[in-house]
Structure 1
Amino acid sequence: MEPPAGKPGSLRNLLIRFLLIGVFLIVVRFAYVISIAGESCNIGDFCFFSLPETLSIVIASAGPLAVESASSGGGLSREELYTSKDWINGVRFYSSVFQELIAGGYLSPNSKSLCVETPTGRDVFALREIGVRDAVGISRKAAKPLVKVGRGERIPSPDGAFDFVFSGEGSFEKSAKPAEFAAEIARTLKPGGFAVFHFVSPRDTYSFNSFLDLFHCFSVVKLHGLEGFDSSMPYIREIVLKKECGDGKLHVDDSNGKCFVPGYKHDLVKIAEPLIEEEPLKPWITLKRNLKNITYLSSMVDMSFKNRYVYVDVGARSYGSSIGSWFRKQYPKQNKTFHVYAIEADKTFHKDYALKKGISLVPYAAWVKNETLTFEIHRDPGEQVEVKGRGMGRIRPVQSSGKGEFDGEVEKIQGFDFADWLKKTVTMNDFVVMKMDVEGTEFDLIPRLFKTGAICLIDEIFLECHYNRWQRCCPGRRSSKYEKTYDQCLGLFNSLRQSGVLVHQWW
């Protein structure tokens, strides 16, 4: 009897099954590495073979580009992303940009480099393609191995980690927190390192200098324009900064308190509305009508690079006097949220601010130093009081005022050094708008702002100057409430504008 012929077939089937299982495991591992891990196998991983470190894609007339294994992003497969027209054009553009930077000495093949807020990583890839191998990007969504998770406002790297930092595609100007973005670049860049920025939108001189103010102890080493590579970026402004000091912080001797108003602010004053040179016979009408002629600073410049937005109302009175009725309704804010400081010593108005959001009440009188003052409630003949029970008040130091000097109601209040408070409350990186209605005290406060250098912290002033003007009630009679003349007020406005401070006549 012949032996059964089934055994060799069974062995062959068993071998085929083992082979199929092995192929299945290889396919599963390959899919995991490419789609999930986003990188090639490391030594010691469960791999049947090592994946190549790069995948080559040939781009017509551009030579081979080595594209490293990366996970897909934005809904596109890796192959679709790396063969798209946008990717190819972007890589070509950034390769050209970085080669120019190498030629200029701002970048080298040995530079440890970071690309900030780069969702596709094409700038990172361009760096690696031209020989800068130690390059990585950060974005809110990772695209390994080119891009890892991070944000411009919180870079996941230690201090002084990089020789070169690049912010492309207008990523810096899109940031909602430019001051934090700038601080992180300054922190992670080595002394002597370079930071390069590409701006997409046209920028004015004010915004450009606001941008530079964010980078203390950095110097501008290159500034020029580039043609972009797609319709969203037809023109690019490239700025190259060099870090000059070790900690990225500004060290200034502020002992004399002086400041210098830069030339670009003087230029803004030149295009402001003209001052009213001739004394108006009906100032309560003329000054109110002049509102339509005012050229607001925020309508002339882009203020996006400022850290905070602040409105300081000195002599605020009630909420509806100017904060609620004018500033919050009419002042052009460029969709920015302003924090309001209401400075008002009269207790009658304090309850108005108790439940108002975004407003800090300073319940004292703005003055030239910290001291007790006398507060006089005095009305001109026929003056209509807008807020029940109170008129407008003048302040004087207690020691310099005698009992017979006041005609109206008098009480004691606490004054504070306004210039000193301002220097502690805002910085050069803030956008600061101020309205001042202080019943004649402007002739004390403005010189104090100049003397201490606090005037340089203010971007725009709306100033009501008080003088012995013609009275509404009594034709031919001037107010006995104030001693200054209109010419003295005009001199105060002119001195501010000549110093580069944008001031408007207010009522």
Structure 2
Amino acid sequence: MDFKALKLQMIRGALARRIILACLCFVLAMFIVSFTRIAGKIRTNEPVLMNFDQCWFNRPRMKVSNVCHENLTFSVVKELTDRQMLRLDGRALCVGDNLYSDALSLRELGFMETFRANQNTIMRFEHDVEFETNYFDFVLSRTFGKVPIPARLVLEIERVLRPGGIGVMIVDFDTFNIGSLVRSATPVSLLLRSSNILHVCGIGSFALIVFKKNLSNVVYFENFRLPKECPSVLRNKPFMQHIEPLMEYQDLVSYLPNFVNVSSRNKLIYINMGTGEMGPSYPIHPQAFNVYVVDHNVSALSAHVKKPGVTFVYHPGLVEGDNFGHSVNSAKYMEAPLHEKRFEFIKWLKETAKDGDFVVLKMNAGETHLKVLFELFESGVICHVDEMFVHCSEGVDCRNSRCHDCLSLFKGLRNAGVFVHRSLQD
């Protein structure tokens, strides 16, 4: 009996040790996964954090008392305007302490409307519908470390920010060094769902964390914060009422040159992103344009290279279903040449189309082209596109999370002031 009892005790002890070891391995695995995610976020933000000592208002031996309250608000806005991250003609929201002084400072700086919300209100205003979604151009918060659920605070700030709007978190940190800024910015970075961090810097015992809300859906084009001086939108505004209604099959198209005089423009530029040539009914002859065929398919080169005034631009990123790049384990990734650089369409368009040109852009509504369209808005380059043609087929295009249907796409673009037509030509 004693031997059997000893044997049973040994078996139970071994089983218990195995269970404990398995639990320890699970905890270690979870720690490694969490650390990897955080490290990835830190690496993403490292180029921004390296500029932490370049805050214009950061001074040696600056005391905290010298950068409090309205002085800090002025300094934050000065930092953002100097870096051309913020415009002063919009709606602003202050969250946290010193609400009255912050709102007053923002109004004195030039914001048209300023609002206030304490940390208790910000945690519940979605249900009270006190502030609408996509409403504010700028949100300033000092309450990240003072609320019980920081994730809810960040989520609510992102909700009320317009796409393209700027959010600022002012958080405490211990000592003025890169490590402290990383530790201060990382929690905010991990909680952001629809924004990217633009800038991080330090002042006194505070860290300034600046982020910009991204476009998440085509219906938000009209809410996006375009530059105040947006040439194409301002020029086309009087003629938007004449544009043809949206229909599945469009016979009569109200082309923009029927309403504006393009003879005074420096150059006529037509950019064809692999969607076909300009239709025969267009008021201006195709040969009057400087034509650029932007495509990932090099076979299109032979079809256009012999035509006068046509330039082929190779854009490998326009392959449908591949707009987010290859997996590091995929065959395409392994076969890709090491020296191949990513083609930057926005940069190319800025260099190609100048102020005073008349620019027509034709594209489709597939995933990769929509990605380009979102980049046009987020960079402000859409302001230099006068007229657009978008090919969109129901049930084929606009099936991803950013674009539910073709009608939403065109309504979003037109409500944003873009003179866009639905192209039915393949």
TM-score computed with the length of structure 1 as normaliser: 0.34
CA radius of gyration, larger in: 1
Which protein is richer in helix relative to its size?
2
Which protein is richer in strand relative to its size?
1
Quick one: higher RCO (CA 8 Å, sep 6+), 1 or 2? 2
TM-score computed with the length of structure 2 as normaliser: 0.40
